Chain A
């Protein structure tokens, strides 16, 4: 079931002295299904935050529509089922962690007793139980991100929208956020998050959308985006004599690398790999590994971003 959908979603801003129209999001058509983790990947300034702001009703679309779950995002009632964490969130720093969550709980109309129970659960989940009585101005960046996630989950949302949730966090913090997202998925929630960090997407996403210069250029399951195509085959060997070295240099599509006793080289096709292994084994060379190499999402992403048609911002 589709829980988040956009149709022709477009956003233009007027900027400069002559109020020139600049299109920052162009005709976005997107569907996110129930229970999946959708990674919205794009470089800085690609239109990721604009999309998320349109979904949350923070800005109005120039054209097109968006629905979360099944209702137009302009309907305030939609937000009762959605949790949102903005990029680099800023909160009321004079409130304590608990007061902060109570405040957001009140905005959802959650009764006091239920709120208290939910807040303690959430503080525990994000590892802030002991810091719940501290004012937010005393929180570190990682703690703020975690309390931000807690406010996004206060209403036990069906859909969780996160804008760069791992941005600026240390590796431990990033892992904690990833684990939290995976936990949400395990409880049947749908997570839509934007990021420019490719490994985060590779690690946890079911489907990925790549946005560049305001246009969604690729969307689909991670494995489809990466493709089944083998880029090259990497072979690890040891005990090469001089003649074998000459052969390896001849076969390898890039200069062989020597680390200790082992030599790493790559051949283009599976046929080349079979032939190389056969000949090397015949010469008494030990083969340690034969690994087909597929392009990473990062390489895909960089290729897409580098295309000339994506290097400039669209104008209407």
Chain B
């Protein structure tokens, strides 16, 4: 495990020493701060809009970081040939992959935590209260980002960064709309179409399950949406993605 840890910490170090990440994070915090302008909107909607838009920004910037670091995570190692000196050490390929993945997940965790902290400070400065429920929403966003990172790393293990970005963003879009597609299929599709859509529903990542922003924003109970099953679903889906990536990675020739 210490080998996985070494690779994870090295990946994290690479990310935090990259100025682009700071630029993205600074921009994200600026965008979150800009929601302050929305707080003045009347009819008591201001605080809800700040929370809703703020969480939206955390999710969007989280996805940007996950996709754009994730797609190059493995590909860059092969392209720059840094992988040669790693794989030639007494380390299994899956350990390398897991280390890279965990390094990026750690980077995402820090970024999501910083963005959430900024949003909470912002809300505290306006309302004088700490909204702990934002933490729950961010935790679910983080879980969603873990799945998205898994998808990005999967494509990164056999495809180019450009194609990996297109595939990952497509999966993200489909994953977010999966519940609606299912509903659409039940209402309008024929028996075969329904079967295909149902099949896809179980195979593709249902990212909508991780979106609890509306419950947090409108002060609804979180008990039903933040369930152990959702967390388990996220973790198992990620594990399946990583296992598939490891299988592909194991067979690869690093030419």
List A residues at the B interface (Cβ < 8 Å): 13, 53, 56-60, 76-80, 82, 84-86, 88-92, 94-95, 99, 103-104, 106-109, 148, 151
- Kindly report which residue of chain A lies nearest to residue B250, judged by CB atoms: A60
Whether B218 sits at the interface, judged by CB under 8 Å, is no
Given contacts A79-B88, A92-B14, A94-B17, contact A59 B254 (CB under 8 A): yes
- Contact in complex: B90, A94 (CB < 8 Å): no
Cα distance A148–B83 in the bound complex, in angstroms: 13
Given contacts A90-B80, A109-B3, contact A79 B85 (CB under 8 A): no
- Contact in complex: A107, B89 (CB < 8 Å): yes
Whether B126 sits at the interface, judged by CB under 8 Å, is no
Residues in A neighbouring B236, C-beta threshold 8 A? none
Cα distance A109–B7 in the bound complex, in angstroms: 12
Number of A-B contacts (CB under 8 A): 81
Given contacts A79-B89, A94-B14, contact A86 B81 (CB under 8 A): yes
Residues of B in contact, count (CB < 8 Å): 27
Whether B87 sits at the interface, judged by CB under 8 Å, is yes
- Contact in complex: B14, A76 (CB < 8 Å): no
B85 interface neighbour in A60, A76, A89, Cβ under 8 Å: A89
- Contact in complex: A90, B90 (CB < 8 Å): no
Subset of 14 A-B contacts with CB under 8 Å: A13-B255, A53-B254, A53-B255, A56-B87, A58-B88, A58-B253, A86-B81, A89-B81, A89-B84, A94-B14, A94-B17, A103-B6, A103-B10, A107-B7
Residues in A neighbouring B82, C-beta threshold 8 A? 90-92
- Contact in complex: B90, A108 (CB < 8 Å): yes
Residues in B neighbouring A148, C-beta threshold 8 A? 85
In chain B, positions 67-121 with a C-beta closer than 8 Å to chain A are 80-92
Given contacts A106-B2, A106-B6, A109-B2, contact A57 B88 (CB under 8 A): yes
A107 interface neighbour in B14, B84, B91, B255, Cβ under 8 Å: B91
Residues in A neighbouring B81, C-beta threshold 8 A? 86, 88-90
Residues in A neighbouring B91, C-beta threshold 8 A? 76, 79, 107
List B residues at the A interface (Cβ < 8 Å): 2-3, 5-7, 10, 13-14, 17-18, 80-92, 251, 253-255
Residues in B neighbouring A99, C-beta threshold 8 A? 13
Query: How close is B84's CB to chain A, nearest CB, in angstroms?
Result: 4
- Kindly report which residue of chain A lies nearest to residue B83, judged by CB atoms: A58
Residues in B neighbouring A56, C-beta threshold 8 A? 84, 87-88
Cα distance A132–B17 in the bound complex, in angstroms: 18
Residues in B neighbouring A77, C-beta threshold 8 A? 90
- Contact in complex: B10, A57 (CB < 8 Å): no
